[in-house]
Amino acid sequence: MLPDEWKKKSFGDVVNIANGLIDPREISFKDIKHIGPENVISNTGRIVNEKTCGDLKLISGKYEFDANSIVYSKIRPNLNKVCTPSYSGVCSADMYVLHPRKGIDKNFLFFSILGNSFKNRAISMSMRTGMPKINREDLSSIPILLPPLPEQKKIAAILSTWDRAIEGTEKLLANSQQQKKALMQQLLTGKKRLPGFTGEWQVHRLGEIADFLKGKGLSKADINPKGKTPCIHYGSLFTEQPSTITETKTLTNTFEGAVFSKKNDVLMPTSDVTPAGLAVASAIQKDNVLLGNDILIIRPNYEQLYGPFLSRIIRNSKKKILSFATGTTVFHLYASDMKGFQLLVPPLPEQKAIATVLTTADEEITAIESALSRLRQEKKALMQQLLTGKRRVKVD
């Protein structure tokens, strides 16, 4: 049942879909901006890295749009690429230029297209061909719910406020990540010293100040939520484990010959299908965690090297670590190579202080990521309520 004063219409009744391609080689289009699907960030409407027709040396037909248009990618509707440019330009023939009809608010329509109902209908219609693509007829047939124009405008304004909050949080996250990267580069190389530390840094090969072991056993089938022993499978080092591990998520049952962690150990994967996957390291801060096969265990001399500092050094030395990787289809990292890894080591108290500063930076980033995730989920839920009329807004 429709909310009071709302109407259900076909998409083709609320927009005109532009026809007629232009030739981007014409001199009048040389300095005109071009938008393709690759320039639109999924689910956001944000436009990035667009260039002019002249810069791109375009030759195939394009559609024109203006500041009153909505541009919607017809290919792979699951990517949900739709935008409302603030200028006039041209777009790829793989996109539709939509002109809202009288009585339809452009921004409300934009959010309706981004909504799950519209997206899911477009996806189901696009699967009829090898390349997922929605044609004009199918697009025009998608049902859309329309409140009165003032309510459309109010809904669009509310959702735009959420978008601004999300974009601001994304910028804050990017700035924090960049600041942490710069801080790591300064602190881990001694270019910047923390207050109160003046001791000399020394150059060591890792094999001089650490022992090397290897994990054993533990296939994915051995992981058992009812097991009694905390464990780490090597695969989790790529995706789940931070630079410092304080808690473990998986359990298993112990077996004869199992290898266990000691607090301050640094763990690295020894094989991956891409060499980049090997340049990760995690310092475990727990004893007696069972460590699986394909995990290289670096056990620092506790009086000389702090594990959380070492894991940061390794993660910050990606290029050097990648030079150790060998293989073709599967790449390997060997203890013999890491023993020769050369690093600059400050006194132990300074190592711990550096690790603490970087952990604090990590925690700040994690907090921002959580806030961003929460904002996105709240906006998603709000869209579902506002675009269906389940939640009505007051119109002045």
Contact 315, 257 (CB under 8 A): no
Beta bridge partners of 231: 250, 290
Distance CA 211, CA 80 (A): 51
Full-model pTM: 0.85
Residue that terminates a domain, selected from 311, 326, 345? 345
311 and 270 fall within a common domain: yes
**What share of the chain has pLDDT > 90, as a percent?**
90
Last residue of a domain, one of 146, 164, 179: 146
Question: Which pLDDT value is given to residue 240?
Answer: 75
**pLDDT for residue 323:** 93
Q: Tell me, yes or no, whether 26 and 122 share the same domain.
A: yes
Are both 246 and 368 inside the same structural domain?
no
- Do 215 and 329 sit in the same domain of this protein? yes
Closest to 295 measured CA to CA, from 250, 236, 253: 236
* pLDDT of res. 239: 78
**265 in the same domain as 315:** yes
Confidence of residue 255 (pLDDT cuts 50, 70, 90): confident
User: What is the pLDDT averaged over residues 72-79?
Assistant: 96
Radius of gyration of the chain (CA): 28
- 354-382 tens-digit pLDDT: 999 999 999 999 999 999 999 999 999 99
pLDDT attached to residue 27: 95
| 14 is a domain residue | yes
Same domain assignment for residues 383 and 277: no
Final residue belonging to a domain, choices 304, 325, 345: 345
Residues 41 and 171 grouped into a single domain: no
> Count of domains in the chain?
3
Q: Is the pLDDT of residue 243 over 80?
A: yes
pLDDT digits (tens, 9 = 90+) for 310-329: 999 999 999 999 999 999 89
DSSP state of 87: S
What residues make up the domain containing 290? 202-345
Q: Is residue 2 part of a domain?
A: no
Spatial distance between the Cα atoms of 362 and 351, rounded to a whole number of angstroms: 16
**Same domain (yes/no): 208, 76:** no
State the pLDDT confidence band at 187, using cuts at 50, 70 and 90. very high
Does residue 130 carry a pLDDT above 80? no
Q: Considering the domain boundaries, does residue 318 fall inside one?
A: yes
Q: What is the DSSP string of 345-359?
A: E--HHHHHHHHHHHH
- Specify whether 298 is located in the same domain as 351: no
Looking at per-residue pLDDT, the higher value among 297 and 395 belongs to 297
Residue 258 domain flag = yes
Q: Is residue 277 part of a domain?
A: yes
What pLDDT is attached to residue 99? 98
Q: Are residues 165 and 300 in the same domain?
A: no
User: Are residues 251 and 365 both part of a single domain?
Assistant: no
Residues with Cβ within 8 Å of residue 138, at least 6 apart in sequence: 122, 125, 126
CATH number for the domain spanning 356: value is 1.10.287.1120
Q: Are residues 327 and 306 in the same domain?
A: yes
- Does 1 reside within a domain? no
Q: What's 311's domain CATH number?
A: 3.90.220.20
Confidence of residue 194 (pLDDT cuts 50, 70, 90): very high
Beta-bridged to residue 82, according to DSSP, are 72
pLDDT at 395: 85
Is 175 exposed, middle or buried, given 0-12, 13-18 or 19+ CB atoms closer than 10 A? exposed
- Give the model's pLDDT for residue 355: 97
Q: What is the pLDDT of residue 275?
A: 86
